[in-house]
Amino acid sequence: MKKRNWYLAVGLALLAASAVLYGIDYAIFGDAHHLYIYLVGDLAFLPLEVLVVTVIVDRLLSERDKRMTLEKLNMVIGAFFSAVGTELLRRLVDIDPSSDSKRRDLMVDAGWTEKEYRAMKQTFTAEQFKCDSRASDLAALKELLVSNRDFFIRLLENPMLLEHVTFTDLLWAVSHLSEELESRASLEGLAEADMDHLAGDMSRAYELLAIQWLDYMLHLRANYPYLFSLAMRLNPFDAEARAEITG
C-alpha cells in the first residue's frame, strides 16, 4: 500500500510540474495555439516512445541480462562437475545394469551437432536410469558426497539457481542421496528394503546428472572448445576415459 501511495504521489507531482511549466510557457509567450500544437504532438509521440523504450530497448536489455545470468550459471555448473559431478556420474554409470548401451551412445566427440545433443536427450526416459545399489561401494560413495556437503550447500545458497530449475533439482537429489547414506549407522548388511530405497535415490540423481551433463557438454562445445576437449576425454560414460591425449 505504501509503495502504491508513493507511485501515486510521484505521478501527481509530475502532472503538477507539467501543468506549471505549460502555464509558464503561456504566461511568457501567450500563444495558446502554439502550445496546443506541441501538447498534441507530444501526446502523439508518446505511444511510439513507449514502444521504443519499454518494449524494444527493455527486451534487448532483458535478453542481455538473461545471457549473462546463463553464462554465470554455466560457470557454477562447471564447478559442480569439476568438483564432484563427473566422478559421481562415473560411479553411477558403473552400477547401471544397462550401462553398455549408454556407453556406446554417449561417446561424445567434437563432431556432435546441437541437433544430435537434443535428439539424445529426447530419447532418455526415467526407466533407462536404474542403479543397482548392491553393486555399489556405498562407503566410498558416502565419502565422496559427504566430503562435498559444504560445497552443495554453497551452491544451493546461490540466488542464480532460481533461474535453473533442472540444476536445482539435481542438487537436491544429490544432497538427499548424501543424507540417506550418512543417516544410516552402518552401510553393511542393510535390509532389502533399504537397498531398494537407496537404489531409487541413486537412480533419481543418475537421470538428472546425465541430462545436465549433456547440456553442459553442449555449452562447452559451443563456447569453450578447450574445456570441451578435456571434458570429452574425461567422459564418465567412457570406461577407458583418461586425461592424457593419445595418438
CA distances 166 to 23, 51, 122, Å, are 58, 34, 15
Residue 151: count of CB within 10 angstroms of its CB:
14
If one compares 110 and 232, the residue with the highest pLDDT of the two is 232
Q: What's the rounded Cα separation, in Å, for the pair 110 and 15?
A: 61
**pLDDT of res. 134:** 93
Residue (of 157, 159, 205) closest to 178 by Cα position: 205
Residue 41 has pLDDT above 70, yes or no: no
**pLDDT of res. 196:** 94
pLDDT in tens, 113-170: 888 888 887 777 656 789 999 999 999 999 999 999 899 888 888 877 776 788 999 9
Is the backbone of residue 137 left (phi > 0), alpha (psi -120 to 50) or beta?
A: beta
pTM, whole model, 2 decimals?
A: 0.73
Residue 187 has pLDDT above 60, yes or no: yes
CA distances 223 to 100, 126, 229, Å, are 30, 29, 12
Q: What's the rounded Cα separation, in Å, for the pair 239 and 247?
A: 18
**φ, ψ for residue 127, nearest 5 deg:** -65, -20
- What mean pLDDT is reported for the chain? 83
pLDDT in tens, 83-124: 999 999 999 999 999 888 888 888 887 788 888 888 887 777
H/E segment holding residue 193:
helix 192-223
If one compares 100 and 31, the residue with the highest pLDDT of the two is 100
Is the backbone of residue 140 left (phi > 0), alpha (psi -120 to 50) or beta?
A: alpha
C-alpha cell at 160: 542464480
**pLDDT of res. 15:** 77
